[in-house]
Structure 1
Amino acid sequence: MEQPVRLLLPVDGSAFTKRALDFLLDRLTWWREPPRVDLLHVEPPVGTALARSYLSREVLDSYYAEQSERVLAPAQAALQGAGLDVLVHRQVGEASRRIVEFSLEHQNDLIVMGSHGHTALGSVALGSVATKVLASCRVPVLIVR
């Protein structure tokens, strides 16, 4: 029996993330079997290392979990509502690097991501995270604008 396609959908809560999610949901017929979706949120580290040294691990973990849940919950609900097998992942760090590492570690077949995130400028053709993922990833990447 053939394994379902394993997609990676990085999410940051931006409008472009929503477009990538909608794009994916509108094209579920592209696959014979419903794809398995790894839903990934990468939260940037709080402040500087010095600032983080003043916060307890519990406080930091709670903050990161809260921020990730706020972003992940709507996407997870939409994907599960469409009957998809969804695995939720939370990481902290530099988004493009974490996305590339994750896709290789989890053997994703395709990354579906928005062209821009929260920090993107409207006049830029492609956001910095999307550009870095395209430049350094061996996994095919589908960019949704």
Structure 2
Amino acid sequence: MYDTILVPTDGSDTAEVAVDHAIDLAEKYGATIHALYVIDVDATSYSLGTEQVDRIRQGHLDEMPEVKESAERATGQVADAAAEHGLTVEEHVRAGQPARAIRKFAEENDIDLVVMGSHGRSGLSRALLGSVAEHVLRETQVPVLVVDEHAER
């Protein structure tokens, strides 16, 4: 049923809860896990110049060690957790708007299931801040399992 599972991660505690669920499903179905870190170019454009953001979009992460380190740390956490269960993880880094990048990756890589965390915001805070998980749910045809940050591990 699930051969490829995508876990978008930013290295947060919320993402780690989703990783636990993805690992459980991967073990049950013999699935490959893909860990995806998305560099939010909209957010980074405030702290970096336009030229640097363009270099990130082109994949020149070696020129920005702090960004590369954050990405590798986040996807590495997924790989380390999966290794404890005898699973391997393919690690990926993309630049763009997170929900769009997740959707695009899922569609281009024949992902069967996206497992991602949610901060569980509701009401006005969700309306003002938006929700990556909500956007992914609305914009993709791939099944999405959204795990609340307070879910039991």
TM-score by length of 2: 0.75
Contact 2:76 2:91 in 1 (8 A): no
Find out whether 1:35 has 2:31 as its counterpart. yes
Partner of 1:7: 5
Listed as ranges, the gaps of 5+ residues in structure 2 are 149-153
Supply the AA of the counterpart residue of 2:23: L
Q: Which has the higher helix share?
A: 2
- Deviation string, structure 1 residues 4-27 (Cα, Å, up to 9, x no partner): 611001101122111111223344
Listed as ranges, the gaps of 5+ residues in structure 1 are none
Write the distance in 2 (CA, Å) between the matches of 1:135 and 1:115. 14
Q: 1:18 aligns with which of 16, 20, 23?
A: 16
TM-score by length of 1: 0.79
The percent of aligned pairs where both chains have the same amino acid is: 31
Find out whether 1:44 has 2:47 as its counterpart. no
Q: 2:138 aligns with which of 125, 135, 139?
A: 135
Find out whether 1:113 has 2:111 as its counterpart. no
2:146 aligned counterpart, secondary structure: strand
Find out whether 1:89 has 2:92 as its counterpart. yes
Contact 1:64 1:92 in 2 (8 A): no
Write the distance in 2 (CA, Å) between the matches of 1:60 and 1:95. 21
